[in-house]
Amino acid sequence: MTPSLDANSPATPPASSVEVAWRVLTLVNLFRLLVPLLLAVLYLTVTPPRVGQVDGTLFVGVATVYFVFGMASLAAIRQRWPAIEMQTVIGVCVDVLVISLLAYASGGMRSGLAALLVLPIAAASIVVRQRLALMFAAIASLALLVQQGLTVLAARADIGEFTSAGIVGALMFIVTLGVGPLARSLRESEALVRQRDEDVANLAELNQFIVQHLRESILVVDEHDTILLINESAARILRGGEVARGARLGEVSPRMAHLLGMWRGQGYDGRMSTASLLSSDRGSVVQPHFVALERGNAGLTLIFLEDTTIIAERVQQSKLAALGRLSASIAHEIRNPVGAMSHAAQLLAESETLTAQERRLADIIKNNGQRVSAIIDNVLQLSRRDATRQERIEINGWLQEFLAEFRQTAQLEGEELRARTPAADVEIQVDPSHLHQLMWNLCENALKYGRDAAGKAAIEIRTGRIAITERPFLE
């Protein structure tokens, strides 16, 4: 939440305003160090003296104390202790007291030293709230009137010099009223700039997060082929791991740097490149697309990396889905006449007048009809796209349960169907019922068509992970 900048509220300046306020206090303390030195030079060198002529001892003593206070305040500012508002209050009070005493020791308002109060009061208006700054101006004006009154009572000045004290007091009020709104406007501008900087930083962080988590693989390079931006997906494709910003594209992927050079040499923008490259794991074919972000090919270049293997897989899936729908339609149309043929063969076989040869032919028709019906049922079952219920399972444990069930059903010995699994667990995301049906069909086919000449079967099922990609496999 942005702090209130109202003049009547207890303001807590932002960090940048606080630094400005400390610098203002530092300049005021330099003023406190220079004023006593200059006054001492005037007191010692000018004859007759223009300052300190009424009470030289008081003048020298107060100037010395003022110089020592300036040194102590400078050390306090470096330590940032006490708080800035407390240092301002103490400093202004000392300024009012010291300059009033110096003016009294120099003959009152006619010495001109009272005008020195304008600078500390103006500086305090920048640091503290306007109400407090107006109080400082009022105290300084009263102090000038008091010292002038004492001077008049001591018969060292005319009563008409009260006008000069009033003018200096009015000048301090005018300066306070003018500097206060200006300081408040500066604080508001600094707060607005700081808020804008935070918004820009948050937006940049958000953009970086979005870029890093995009599914698309992108990177940006400059005219020297230095990588300025790359997301995780592009880094995995080009190197197989993290790629630091500022790396050279030729070191990360020489093939990509070569294709970028060819694209720049051709002098076109926004067209799809026909060249491609292999991913870092050699498992995908990647096609880059180049876009110039600045006019001319020598500026920043945005590169999209498209995994054509995924596109090919999607096209293949679409073709298989269309083929499945066609097969289901054909199987459905064949199912009715095949069923009629099987039923007719069954009725024919029940006739008592058939010869043995004719009955054998009827059995052939019936058996093959049943076989075709079974094939049609399998095609229709495969074409149905039931909703999957995927679960995360440990494949090695699931495989042992499947083998035990299949051995018991098929009456197999342990050597005829065995599994080779790694020691580490392998987890996969799959529909267990679909996997069970698939494995059952594969094992049945292996038993049916994989026996040797002696009628023995030897089926081995293996699980594990591919060394390059760490993807699980079941074969």
Question: What pLDDT is attached to residue 38?
Answer: 94
Given a cut of 80, whether residue 123 has pLDDT beyond it is yes
Q: Pairing relation of β-strands 417-420 and 459-465? A: parallel
Boundary of a domain, candidates 352, 383, 414: 383
- Position 398 in a domain: yes
Residues 234, 162 share a domain = no
- Position 22 in a domain: yes
Question: What pLDDT is attached to residue 271?
Answer: 53
State both tokens at 421: 């699994």
Given a cut of 90, whether residue 63 has pLDDT beyond it is yes
| pLDDT tier for residue 250 given thresholds of 50, 70 and 90 | confident
241: left (phi over 0), alpha (psi -120 to 50) or beta: beta
Question: What pLDDT is attached to residue 11?
Answer: 42
DSSP string, 200-221: HHHHHHHHHHHHHT-SSEEEEE
Residues 272, 193 share a domain = no
Integer angstrom CA distances of residue 416 from 143, 193, 299, 451, 455 = 112, 78, 66, 10, 11
Domain count, the chain: 4
Read off the CATH number of the domain in which 455 is found. Answer: 3.30.565.10
Residues 339, 278 share a domain = no
Residues 265-308: tens digit of each pLDDT: 776 555 545 677 877 777 778 888 888 876 655 578 888 888 77
Residues 143-181: tens digit of each pLDDT: 999 998 998 888 787 888 888 889 999 999 999 898 878
Residues 234, 261 share a domain = yes
Which range, 63-77, 306-320, 384-398, is most confident?
63-77
Residue 209, class by beta-carbon neighbours within 10 Å (0-12 exposed, 13-18 middle, 19+ buried)? exposed
- Position 186 in a domain: yes
Residues 247, 175 share a domain = no
Which range, 24-33, 191-200, 248-257, is most confident?
24-33
The separation between the first and the last C-alpha atoms of the chain, rounded to the nearest angstrom, is 61
- Position 8 in a domain: no
Integer Cα distance of 240 and 135 in angstroms: 69
- Position 263 in a domain: yes
Residue 228, classed as helix, strand or coil, is strand
Contact of 457 with 444, CB cutoff 8 Å: no
Question: What pLDDT is attached to residue 273?
Answer: 55
Question: What pLDDT is attached to residue 298?
Answer: 59
Query: Which among 248, 238, 298, 249 is positioned nearest to 269, based on CA atoms?
Result: 298
Given a cut of 90, whether residue 140 has pLDDT beyond it is yes
- Position 395 in a domain: yes
Residues 135, 187 share a domain = yes
Residues 222, 86 share a domain = no
Percent of the chain with pLDDT over 70: 91
- Position 212 in a domain: no
Question: What pLDDT is attached to residue 327?
Answer: 74
Residues 146, 232 share a domain = no
Residues 319, 304 share a domain = no
State both tokens at 332: 């459905």
Integer angstrom CA distances of residue 379 from 25, 408, 448 = 90, 27, 19
- DSSP-derived letter for residue 77 is H
> Which domain, by its residues, includes 353?
312-383
Boundary of a domain, candidates 273, 308, 343: 308
- Position 114 in a domain: yes
Boundary of a domain, candidates 308, 339, 367: 308
Read off the CATH number of the domain in which 230 is found. Answer: 3.30.450.20
Residue carrying the six token digits 């990609």: 469
Question: What pLDDT is attached to residue 87?
Answer: 92
Residues 156, 65 share a domain = yes
Residues 181, 50 share a domain = yes
Integer Cα distance of 455 and 449 in angstroms: 10
- DSSP-derived letter for residue 248 is B
Max intra-chain CA distance, the chain: 162
Integer Cα distance of 304 and 214 in angstroms: 11
Residues 187, 170 share a domain = yes
Question: What pLDDT is attached to residue 9?
Answer: 41
